[in-house]
Amino acid sequence: MKNMIKDAAVLFVITLFAGLILGVVYQVTKEPIALAEEKAAKEAYAEVFPSASDFSLLTESMPEDTEWQNDFSEAGFEMVEVKNVLEALDKDGALLGYVLTVTSHEGYGGDITFTMGICTDGTLNGISILSISETAGLGMKAEEVLKPQFANKNFPSFTYTKSGSVADNQIDAISGATITTNAVTTAVNGGLYYFQTQLGGSGYEAK
């Protein structure tokens, strides 16, 4: 019995010290991690809207309006989340468009998060991937295969194909990574839908 109490006490002390060490490590690394994430986000904003001189946060999350959220889901975007919508401004403060941070919860290896820059006329400047954990050699090719295909295009939505695109709004799928292709394409369309219904854009065509 005494040995059990002794072992339990030793285990408690070890656990306590481990918890304290983890807490100290978290406090030490929390600020550098936050700064690194902020720096990466700012670089992504500039990448998808290089003509902007400044960015102003418009909203941190999607509208709480239940009817709109239902419409968003019914349009096929129930697994898409839009956050951190920023206004892209020129040097005089005039509105050039918007930068949206979009997350797809349909990735093969988990969430896929990227920024997308949309001009006021609906032109998609492009996307910049912030985080992705897809299969190496397949879904991880999203950066080199999918990303360039969205740049400088003005369409209300995109589709993807596995047999070679025949239209400018068609995206060539990553070979062997249809799930990743679908996740990114759907999330881009979700961001465009948000722009069209919440930021003054127009022209959405239901799939």
Q: What is the mean pLDDT of residues 101-112?
A: 96
* pLDDT exceeds 70 at position 22: no
Tell me what pLDDT residue 200 has.
Answer: 86
Give the C-alpha separation, 105 to 83, whole Å.
13
Note the maximum CA span of the chain: 78
Mean pLDDT computed over every residue of the chain: 86
- Helix/strand/coil percent split, the chain, to 5: 45, 25, 30
- pLDDT for 204: 44
Mean pLDDT of the region 61-82: 92
User: Residue 152 — left, alpha, or beta (φ > 0 → left; ψ -120 to 50 → alpha)?
Assistant: left
Instruction: State yes or no: pLDDT of 161 exceeds 70.
Output: yes
Confidence of residue 205 (pLDDT cuts 50, 70, 90): very low
On the question of pLDDT at 61 being above 80, the answer is yes
Instruction: State the average pLDDT over residues 29-40.
Output: 58
Identify the band that residue 105 occupies on the pLDDT scale cut at 50, 70 and 90.
very high
What is the average per-residue pLDDT within 140-146? Answer: 94
Evaluate if pTM is beyond 0.85. Answer: no
